[in-house]
Structure 1
Amino acid sequence: MATNRLLRTAGTVLTATALLLSGCSSGDSSPGAAASGQPTNGRTGSADTMPEAATATIKPLPTAVPAALRPYYGQKLTWRECGIVGFECTTMKAPLDYAKPSTATDLKLAVSRKKATGPGSRIGSLMVNPGGPGGSAIDYLQQYAPQPDAVRARYDMVAMDPRGVARSEPVTCLSSAQMDGYTRVDQTPDSDAEVDRLTSALRDFTRGCRARTGARLGHVSTAESARDMDVLRAVLGDDKLTYVGASYGTFLGATYAGLFPSRVGRLVLDGATDPSLPARTMNRDQTAGFNTAFTAFAKDCAKQRDCPLGTGSPEEAGRRLTALFKQLDARPAPTGSDRTLTESLATSGVTAAMYDEGAWPVLREYLAKAQKGDGSGLLALSDSYYERDPDGTYANQMFANPAVNCLDLPGAFSGPDEVRAALPAFRKASPVFGESFAWAALNCAYWPVKPTGEPHRITAEGAAPILVVGTTRDPATPYPWARALASQLSSATLLTYEGDGHTAYGRGSDCIDTTINTYLLEGTPPPPDKHCT
């Protein structure tokens, strides 16, 4: 199924919302590709081969603001106190369609800020985005943003929920009860009948998105959100954009740089994605990334007395976990509630814990409980993964994520036959997760809105220095993606974190945090290819 990688695992708060394995991984788009600076020659390949990376480059938009957009750039915001003490909120107008702006269809995008308080002179505004796509930037800012006091003192910290997300004209697809059923559908179909049930669930999901969201579903692309960011930059009174983006937020930030290179200030892109890759390649790369993370978990688990996967090799641990999944496929485990733990829910729960090594002890405990017939722990992890609250309601991220992804890139697969042909490559990438991740990549095949973007490179010629950050054992945004993005951006410097988990900033490395803070406060990037632990 279309599954997201979320902020919380077993009470551990991660620093970023990870990129979705949804069949349409992040890529740039907007209605009318040529008109918005998009390349038009994305590449495809056969189902059992990996398509090549794109060579076309995103083109910047004209520096002059078109007359039809000047009212948006000149609007005045009315701020009010909201949420946590010290934060203000407002709404900003943006055109539904930048090619045909009309006040009759304007969007209202939610914005929040916390003003700089000093000591030290104010530098400007610093926008943040936690990724997803679909993660609430406002929630991230108000609760989890990792910027230290020194950065908060010098910047107005600002967040805008992107169009289609959380408080900003949210995409909606299914009721909570329907989502409960959707998340349980078997992601490793063993028969034609189970494939039919999976594809039927995917089609029902997309029909719900169309019915409940309407025309907005065709206007939630990354390129449009990047253009919204430029409007907000201007409305805030900043000549340049200063920005910290994590996971998918790096693609959003890089897209901004590609469209508006002359307006780039200090950009931190942490847990970077590679915009030149087609969807299937990105999904396969992520599958391998989760295998790397699982190998690290298995090696650590084997050293612990309470390891439920044995003290052997990672391969043996993988076989034991796969056996548990098959057991749950045949007989879902009770959880002490009216919901049982299925194979699909267990897989999402394990996947959630791969994002932060701090969740590994909890995962060991919950795997041991599941082996004894108690699925409550893994179900709790799965609920965090899907952002399902205790009252049974789901956050908007599960809907916004595929809405953005399926608009940004052509789908990874056009139908079940292509998935079947690609299964060997995905199983090779990860014997544990490969099959479920491959079938999860089918959802964009049935999306009700045609994709408007294609793979492309982003060079952002003329932009100020940009800092790209990659983690060597990042499961969701594999380290080669950071190297690729840094090599594309003409002014980028790569900062490497030698470690586990998703993203690096604010996760405990003094070297990483000091380097990024120095860049944000002084504008000085680190030496080329600096490594931290």
Structure 2
Amino acid sequence: MLSPGRAPLRLAAVLVALVLPVTGCSLLAPGPEPTGLSAGDQEPPPGTDGLERYYEQELDWSDCPAVECASLEVPVDWSEPDGETLEIAVNRVPAKGDAAGSLVVNPGGPGGSGVDYAAAADQIVGSAVREHLDVVGFDPRGVQRSAPVDCVGDAELDEWMGNDPSPDDASERVAAVEQSAEFGRACEETTGELIGHVSTQDVAKDLDVLRSALDDGKLTYLGKSYGTTIGATYAELFPERVGRMVLDGVFPTDLSGIEAAVGQAKGFDTATRAWAADCLTDDCPLGGTEEEVLASVKGLLQELDRSPVPAGGGPRLTEGWASVGIAQAMYDQGMWSMLTEALVAAGQGDGSALMQLGMTYAGRDTSGTYTSNIMEALPAVSCLDDGVDKDPQEWQQVVDEVEAEAPIWGTFLAWESLVCATWPVEPVEGIGPVEAKGADPLLIVGTTRDPATPYEWAVRLHEQIDNSALVTHEGDGHTAYMRQNDCVDSAVEEYWLTGGLPEGGELTCRE
């Protein structure tokens, strides 16, 4: 099972940027300081009476390993600013030269750690940016160091991740509904009141307080994958506070849960076929044609459904864990050869390599410890943002609908979405399409064969926001900036450093 949320594949950039080596570079050399960055506005937005104490706070930076760190106080419930509060973990990697402002970053999820992401500043942004901007990360509420959502213990999470992702008959479908509902109840019981206050809108409001505490009049931002949802939500709620915002690998705010499942399933179908075609270029051990390769994978998953195989001392490799491992490799074409070898080994009874891919996605180490709470934060945020208004007892109809659009991944991703149909907390009212009227120009980046955030979603947001530009990366993998394409990197960094946008509002970068 890839993740228990209605948008189960929104993580991506965390794994691409922090697990894999990143070797992208910029065509820009360190040079003049950024122009036009605004600073100094600490007033709360209009209509936010009672929030002054949050907007007026100052960050007390202390030394942490390789970075500076601090905490930010925000209300648990933004409608009750005098009620309970929580602490948001923040870190900063200072600019190598004179800082002209801050670049706040988020890698995706929901559930990805911005603190961990910012700590890798030299790998996630180019040298010119490092010279002139402080890189600032934060763990969104409910994530890792910021009052983390908690549902079950590590052993139970292993079982949850390994659950059957393709129920075959009525009894298995009933079991899937029961497991889903039980997981949601555990999240509500263990996490408590916060479970109803981890929506993306809550996070965007926290982000505006962070902007103020950084003494930045406008927000300079990099959001990847779900991080684009945070950024777009911020732009809609606080358009006058938007500075130079880059949204790379767009997950739109106006998708329904079922639309998300269909879009991502189609994206993963495209990526999987691209992997199969790539395998065939060098004596592929899984078949002689694209369809034979895909059939081999399907046959392996069916066999694992019947009989899991050993995986090196951890949980046995089930169909669920294997599917997670395959999906992990779709995020970056640099992992495709590793995936092929892992599939061959699993077919021979050794599931350790494919299990390692799955554990990497889930944030689980070989000792059985989950090093982050991403698998628990993801459904908590996703289901609160976009509840699924479908009868869980009739879920097979949803599965059929998604599978018709995406025959390779449709069944898997449709069943992954079930948890939001049984989630115990009512969703918040969404913000719908983003217009960001009055915002400074935004830069949107989309990759044509992105598995998790289809390119069409970047176009969709670009069309919603009149004051935006679009960079199209013609290529594979999830997200584009700092992933070995100088054209993309230069466009992004020129925007941050000078405010310059592609001529005519659109730019195509090829591999």
Alignment TM-score, normalising by the size of structure 2: 0.91
Instruction: Write the distance in 2 (CA, Å) between the matches of 1:309 and 1:106.
Output: 54
Contact 1:116 1:155 in 2 (8 A): yes
Of 416, 421, 426, 1:450 maps to 426
State the Cα distance separating 1:180 from its structure 2 match: 1.1
Q: Does 1:205 align with 2:183?
A: yes
Quick check: 2:109–2:374 contact (8 Å CA) kept in 1? yes
Partner in structure 1 of residue 507 of structure 2: 530
Matches within 5 A, 1:377-416: 377-394=353-370, 395-411=372-388, 413-416=390-393
Q: 1:442 to 1:455 in 2, by over 3 A?
A: farther
Q: Are 2:145 and 1:167 equivalent residues in the alignment?
A: yes
Matches within 5 A, 1:271-310: 271-305=249-283, 307-310=284-287
Q: 1:293 to 1:171 in 2, by over 3 A?
A: same
CA distance in structure 1 between the partners assigned to 2:224 and 2:435 by the alignment = 19
Equivalent residues in 2 for 1:93-132, closer than 5 Å: 93-102=73-82, 104-118=83-97, 121-132=98-109
> Does structure 2 conserve the Cα–Cα contact (< 8 Å) formed by 1:413 and 1:441?
no
Q: Distance in 1 between matches of 2:499 and 2:243?
A: 9
Q: Give, in angstroms, the shift of residue 284 of structure 1.
A: 0.5
- Aligned amino acid, residue 295 of structure 1: R
Instruction: Provide closer, same or farther for how the CA distance between residues 14 and 348 of structure 1 changes in structure 2, counting only shifts above 3 A.
Output: farther
Of residues 115, 118, 122, the one that matches 1:141 is 118
Whether the aligned pair in 2 keeps the contact of 1:10 and 1:380 (CA below 8 Å) is no
The residue aligned with 2:129 is 151
| In structure 2, distance between residues paired with 1:367 and 1:63 | 53
Q: Supply the distance in 2 between the matched residues of 1:195 and 1:262 (Cα, whole angstroms).
A: 48
Give the superposition deviation at 1:212: 1.0
- Using the TM superposition, give the Cα deviation of residue 308 of structure 1 relative to its aligned residue in structure 2, in angstroms: 3.0
Q: Could you tell me how far 1:14 is from its partner in structure 2?
A: 7.6
Equivalent-residue separation in structure 1 for 2:254 and 2:209 (angstroms)? 26
Alignment partner, residue 367 of structure 1 = 343
- Does residue 1:267 correspond to 2:245, yes or no? yes
The 8 Å contact of residues 318 and 431 in structure 1, kept in 2 or not, is answered as no
Alignment partner, residue 469 of structure 2: 493
Q: 1:338: Cα distance to partner? A: 5.0
**Equivalent position amino acid for 1:456 in 2:** G
Q: Report if aligned partners of 1:8, 1:14 keep a CA contact under 8 Å in 2.
A: no
1:69 aligns with 2:66: no
Shift of 1:132: 0.5
Q: Within 1, Cα distance between the matches of 2:385 and 2:78?
A: 16
Number of aligned residue pairs: 480
Aligned residues of 1:187 and 1:436 also touching (Cα < 8 A): yes
Q: 1:455 to 1:433 in 2, by over 3 A?
A: farther
Task: Give the corresponding residue for 2:218.
Answer: 240
Indicate if the aligned counterparts of 2:459 and 2:470 stay in contact, CA closer than 8 A. yes
Tell me how far 1:11 sits from its aligned partner.
9.2
Instruction: Give, in whole Å, the separation in 1 of the partners of 2:376 and 2:314.
Output: 25
Displacement after TM superposition at 1:12 (Å): 4.9
Superposed CA deviations along residues 241-277 of structure 1, whole A, max 9, x for unmatched, are 0000000111100111111111111000000122222
Residue of structure 2 equivalent to 1:194: 172
Distance in structure 1 (CA, Å) of the matches to 2:339 and 2:113: 26
**Cα distance, 1:423 vs. partner?**
2.7
Deviations 1:405-461 (A, max 9, x none): 1111122643141x3113333223332222111111110111111001336111011
Query: Residues 276 and 122 from structure 1, CA distance in 2 versus in 1: closer, same or farther, beyond 3 angstroms?
Result: same
Which letter maps to 2:400? P
Q: CA deviation at 1:385?
A: 1.4
Compared with structure 1, are the counterparts of its residues 371 and 10 closer, same or farther at alpha carbon in structure 2 (3 Å cutoff)? farther
Contact between 1:10 and 1:362, CA under 8 Å: does it hold in 2?
A: no
**In 2, distance between residues paired with 1:254 and 1:80?**
31
Going from structure 1 to structure 2, the CA distance change for 1:270 and 1:439 (only over 3 Å counts) comes to same
Measure the CA separation in 1 of the matches of 2:330 and 2:227: 20
Q: For residue 311 of structure 2, what is the aligned residue in structure 1?
A: 335
272 and 356 in structure 1: CA distance in 2 versus 1, 3 angstrom threshold: same
Match of 2:325 in 1: 349
Determine if contact 1:416/1:442 at 8 Å carries over to the other structure.
Answer: no
User: Are positions 1:225 and 2:225 aligned together?
Assistant: no
Which letter does structure 2 place at the counterpart of 1:74?
Answer: E
Bigger mean CA deviation after superposition, 422-431 or 340-349: 422-431
Which position in structure 2 is the counterpart of 1:438? 414
Normalized against structure 1, the TM-score is what? 0.87
Which amino acid is 1:517 matched to?
E
**Structure 1: where are the runs of 5+ without partners?**
16-60
Letter in 1 for 2:125: Q
Aligned to 1:13: 20
Is the partner of 2:185 in helix, strand or coil? Answer: helix
- 1:79 aligns with one of 53, 61, 67: 61
Equivalent AA in structure 2 for residue 73 of structure 1 = Y
Inter-partner Cα distance in structure 1 for 2:354 and 2:156: 21
Helix, strand or coil: the match of 1:203?
A: helix
